Every structure is written in structure tokens, then in C-alpha cells.
Amino acid sequence: MTELVDLAEFNFKVAFTVEKIESQGHHVSALDPDYVEWAAYFFDTKTENPYNKVDVHKCTEEDFSEFYPISANHRHNLDNIKKRNNFYCLSKKDKFGNDVNMTLYGNYYSGIYRNL
């Protein structure tokens, strides 16, 4: 039997950002909704539609408070990026208000798996 891993049990958190740096050195957001829609998906080979979209949202201070503390060496860089409000986090609830299923199982080579 395949081992199940529930990422929620590990308090799994992820935040992401993408930035474009102009040649003059000014930071410009690459998250402009006029050009890009960011999304995360669980891929589940046991379902009829294997792609299950997970909503993302701009990270809040509450989101950041749930992450493990960052090292002092990287605190300045994180604070600078946070000022630009470019971080996105996975939502804990789906569009209907239900908890997102954070369970993973299997592996790619078995052909039966669920990953993020």
C-alpha cells in the first residue's frame, strides 16, 4: 500500500513570488493580473479530472506568522520583498469554504499518485 502524507499535519506552508528586474535596477511585479494568472494544482491520477486547482491569495501577515522563522541572514531580503506585496500563498479553503485536501500519496513511477 502507498504511504499517505497529509501536508496539513506538518503545517506545510509555501509562498511564491516572481519578479522582473528592469535594466535600470527597478523592481517591477511580474504578477500583474492583466498578463499572468498564478495557480497551484494537485495532480491526482485516481480522479476523472486529475488537475485540481488550489486557490492562491496574496499572503497576509497572518500567513507569514505561520511560517518557520527565517534566518537573520535573510530577514532583510524577505522584508524588502514583502514591501512590494508580491507573495502569494496557497489558500487553506476551497471556493466553497471546505478545507483543501493536502494529502499526497504514491510516486510518479508507480503511475498512481497525488502531488502538488
Q: How many structural domains are present in the chain?
A: 1
Give residue 19's domain range. Answer: 4-115
Query: Tens digit of pLDDT for each residue in 55-64?
Result: 888 899 999 9
Q: How far apart are CA 39 and CA 82, in angstroms?
A: 20
- 62-111 pLDDT, tens digit per residue, is 999 998 888 999 999 888 888 888 888 998 888 888 888 888 888 888 88
* C-alpha to C-alpha distance for 48 and 21, rounded to whole angstroms: 41
pLDDT digits (tens, 9 = 90+) for 1-38: 468 888 888 888 888 887 665 555 665 556 666 666 77
